[in-house]
Structure 1
Amino acid sequence: MYVPVRGKLALAMAFAISWVAFSLYVALPWINDLAELFSLPVAWFIVAGIALIPGWANAFLVAGLLIDHRPRYFIHEKLPPVTLLIAAYNEEGCIGDTLRSVAVQDYPGDVEVLVVDDGSTDRTREVVAETIGTLGAGKNFSFRLIPVFPNGGKANALNVALAQASHDLIASVDADTHLFKDALARIVTNIIDGPAHTAAVAGTVLARNSRNNMITKLQEWDYFLGISVVKRIQSLYQGTLVSQGAFSVYRREALEKAGGWADTVGEDIVLTWAFHELGYRVGYAENAFVFTNVPETYGQFFRQRKRWARGLMEAFRFHPRIFTRPRMITPFIYLNALFPYLDLVFLCVFLPGVFAAVFFQYYAIVGVMTLLLLPLMLLINVLMFFNQRRIFRRYGLKVRKNFLGLILYMLTYQVIMSPASILGYFSEFFHFKKSWGTK
């Protein structure tokens, strides 16, 4: 039975609101108890942040997963020419492998690869030149190195490359990212076969170095379950919120109307929201896989997630009108606006409440009511796992048996991520110094 997208949105909203109504009914005694300890406004502040809003978000995702049945796009015998942009800064250890993964792509069309070395202080330029020299000629790929001095940041590097690009389709890939087979062809197929007003399509980014240590194992599940599934559900409502620089494709006309990449730490999310403000659609290619090197130390991870959180705040600052133009992705916009509040409540209220419950048997803040979130959290992770595994199998990939990482991901990931996110929000609010990179 065909259900239009707006009908699916209505069903998902109805399910999420019903869940919140049930949770609120059960939570009323908890709210009254907290009101006696603190005050009624503080009680609502705590319960909404710990249970009600996260419960709504999880229920909305569960409903989206259950009703999402997207079309499958098959690679054409001939595809339009595309320019692939790679911005690199001190990437001598990985840029060569990235270029080789591009060169072996079976793309039925011309590909122009522009590598911008953004004032690197290591051997990145030399490695790029040497690698291009070994790739040979005669295929439908051309490679060119564009040196930029001094270092001007990722957005500037991409804009420099865009100005020299030859084609109407522009793709981007990070310098430490490996393209899986047919990734470029599949992501281009998604944008040309998608609705005519599609400005960009985000690819599926997965962790490449996930076996290295526990930090990378946790991120393996974040990319596999959290990030990919959220993008999938957002695209169901025609509004992926981040067409990430790690791997995406854009229509040049839309890029130029948006003014290219803004000089921000979150240049990809700021650009994506510019597309939404202009009335474009942003999609997601579940079958266009790339594998990126994720941070291997907590310090690198902290800096990356701080930058991502700051990028979100930049997007709101650059595009405040996104609140006032109703569209199907509006629920996600308002949920993103609540992230600082949710992270603050989680870190400053929920975690101390867990500590008090475990060590002092004090259940006023975290008690029986919070157990309502557990079955919903388990359900959504089970649905995400089997959904993603089905997609993997369809395209010849396997899910690695990293179940310890999965358990730790569900129990601890928010704990290690929230401090970085909160610092990122405050960094943007107080206009702290900006920098590119996580290393």
Structure 2
Amino acid sequence: MKVDGREAKRSAIYLPVSAKFLIALIGAIAWMGFSIWAAGPWLADLKSYVGTAFAIFLVYGIAIIPGFMNAFMAISLVLDKRPPHRPLPVYPPISILIAAYNEEASIDETLVSIDQQKYPGELQVIVINDGSADGTAQVVRRALERYGWLSFVDLKKNGGKARALNIGFKEVLHDLVVTVDADSFLYRGALASIVERYHADPSNTRAVAGKILVRNSRQNWITRCQEWDYFHGISAVKRVQSLFQGTLVAQGAFSVYDRAALTEVGGWPECVGEDIVLTWALLNAGYRVGHCEDACLFTNVPSTLRQLVKQRQRWARGMTEAFVKHPRILFKMRLSTFFIHWNLLFPWLDLAFTIGFIPGIIFALFGYYWIVGPMTLALIPAAFALSFLMFSIERRMFKKTGLVVRKNIQGFFVYVLLYSLLLQPASVLGYLDELFRKPKAWGTK
């Protein structure tokens, strides 16, 4: 069989996933080595004020380890050349679970977006009303008259998202199960795309996470900077984790799961971070979790500082729950375990940033550069460079799917320069919530 020059060239430069991982790891280690050398004077100076142990805790937590992570991410993103998913000759039937709590204002639009998908296979949609105190149940009952694929489970008492999903799961008819948040809107072709990716991924894949984007981004500066977080940071992390065979969170907002695998791991666990704990259960069972970068769902994000902080507290708490429930995952010999160990460092990094970097900014304003000085300022161009790389990749995906990246310069600068000042302290609060066993409740995302 004749192979043209382009095909031959593509074959010649093909790199297996393990080689990409090794290249990214070597590059990140090299960058960390340079950072340690460059930070020598800073570390020596800081030791004289706070002692050796605390100085190492701060410098490595604020700059060295985050620099290693960013270098690994950047190299991995450059190397990520994922194969496209293609239309299927026959699309399998799917069941969609929507757990709803006080979603009177948005649940109807969510159902409209599902109908507009025109999914080319059989469709079953189950809305589980989790004891809503508003008119959610009445809105869904009216929708039953319009959609033949819709069914309704009306729970009279609120019991939490995991319980609602598990009750709805008992009504599932099909082998592929999709979860969609009740305040979301599926972009065109999202259901077909995520099912195509599921079938195109390696045979041991048992879940695929969709791409979450911000629906209410124009509301205020808080939602504008979250637009960049979802478009940039969260998407890039999922891309890299998926490249190395293990997306760590198949988020409940939009993901597809294998029904038999869900049954095997016991469904959704009763906890704050039910989606991350479920995902780790699948990884712990030896399965792969993927990511479909062009299966897009728009969702409403927190619009007040209080809501945003509470959300990130829950996310941090969910990660802690995952470690507690699945400690053996740390010893699984697979590429994705690298990211599990990576997550072990987050409490250190979040705490160092909260108790070191933020006070260091205040000290720097008064001329004391013990913590925040020239070395930390040098990280700002690196942050912008990584953001530009993420932007370039995501813009190509947007163009492919017919989406347009809107101008949001204010949100971008807030995201790059100030976002961590809010979110990393919030994460610390989340770790403390789990440590002191604070009550758990339904939350936003």
2:291 is paired with a residue of what secondary structure? strand
Q: Which structure 2 segments of 5+ residues have no match?
A: 1-12
Amino acid at match of 2:170: A
Q: How much does 1:371 deviate?
A: 3.1
2:282 is paired with a residue of what secondary structure? helix
Among residues 192, 202, 211, which one is paired with 1:204 in the alignment? 211
Given the alignment of the two structures, is residue 390 of structure 1 paired with residue 402 of structure 2, yes or no?
no
1:144 is paired with a residue of what secondary structure? strand
Q: How much does 1:296 deviate?
A: 1.2
| 1:342-384 alpha-carbon deviations (Å, 9 max, x no partner) | 1111111111112211x21111212222234223212110000
Mean Cα deviation higher: 169-178 or 369-378 = 369-378
Match of 2:165 in 1: 158
How many residues align structurally? Answer: 433
- TM-score (ref. length: structure 1): 0.97
Among residues 278, 281, 287, which one is paired with 1:280 in the alignment? 287
Amino acid at match of 1:419: P
Match of 1:68 in 2: 80
Cα separation, 2, equivalents of 1:390 and 1:196:
28
Given the alignment of the two structures, is residue 38 of structure 1 paired with residue 50 of structure 2, yes or no?
yes
**Contact kept? 2:102, 2:132, Cα under 8 Å:** yes
Amino acid at match of 1:390: R
Mean Cα deviation higher: 264-273 or 148-157 = 148-157
| 1:169-209 alpha-carbon deviations (Å, 9 max, x no partner) | 00000000100101011101111121110010000000001
**Contact kept? 1:106, 1:185, Cα under 8 Å:** no
1:164 is paired with a residue of what secondary structure? coil
Cα separation, 2, equivalents of 1:74 and 1:215:
37
Match of 1:289 in 2: 296
2:39 is paired with a residue of what secondary structure? helix
- TM-score (ref. length: structure 2): 0.95
Cα separation, 1, equivalents of 2:59 and 2:123:
53
Given the alignment of the two structures, is residue 309 of structure 1 paired with residue 325 of structure 2, yes or no?
no
Amino acid at match of 1:361: G
Cα separation, 2, equivalents of 1:102 and 1:77:
21
Q: Output the aligned Cα RMSD.
A: 1.1
Match of 2:141 in 1: 129
2:208 is paired with a residue of what secondary structure? strand
The residue correspondences of 1:195-274 to structure 2 (distance < 5 A) are 195-274=202-281
Mean Cα deviation higher: 287-296 or 146-155 = 146-155
Change (3 A) 1:106 1:134: closer
Match of 2:428 in 1: 422
Among residues 65, 70, 80, which one is paired with 1:53 in the alignment? 65
Q: How much does 1:54 deviate?
A: 0.5
Cα separation, 2, equivalents of 1:304 and 1:77:
41
Amino acid at match of 1:67: L
**Contact kept? 2:209, 2:250, Cα under 8 Å:** yes
**Contact kept? 2:268, 2:274, Cα under 8 Å:** yes
Among residues 322, 330, 337, which one is paired with 2:337 in the alignment? 330
| 1:34-66 alpha-carbon deviations (Å, 9 max, x no partner) | 222222112211111111001001001001111
Among residues 13, 29, 36, which one is paired with 1:24 in the alignment? 36
Q: How much does 1:326 deviate?
A: 2.6
Q: How much does 1:132 deviate?
A: 2.5
Q: How much does 1:112 deviate?
A: 0.4
Mean Cα deviation higher: 312-321 or 364-373 = 364-373
Cα separation, 2, equivalents of 1:55 and 1:333:
18
Match of 2:440 in 1: 434
Match of 2:413 in 1: 407
Match of 2:194 in 1: 187
Amino acid at match of 1:427: D
Identity %: 51
**Contact kept? 1:77, 1:108, Cα under 8 Å:** no
Amino acid at match of 1:256: T
**Contact kept? 2:331, 2:337, Cα under 8 Å:** no
Q: How much does 1:330 deviate?
A: 2.4
**Contact kept? 2:351, 2:428, Cα under 8 Å:** yes
Cα separation, 2, equivalents of 1:52 and 1:334:
16
Cα separation, 2, equivalents of 1:259 and 1:22:
46
Amino acid at match of 1:73: H
Q: How much does 1:155 deviate?
A: 0.4
Q: How much does 1:398 deviate?
A: 0.3
**Contact kept? 1:59, 1:376, Cα under 8 Å:** no
Mean Cα deviation higher: 316-325 or 81-90 = 316-325
The residue correspondences of 1:293-372 to structure 2 (distance < 5 A) are 293-357=300-364, 359-372=365-378
| 1:220-276 alpha-carbon deviations (Å, 9 max, x no partner) | 111100111110110000110000000000011111111100000100000000011
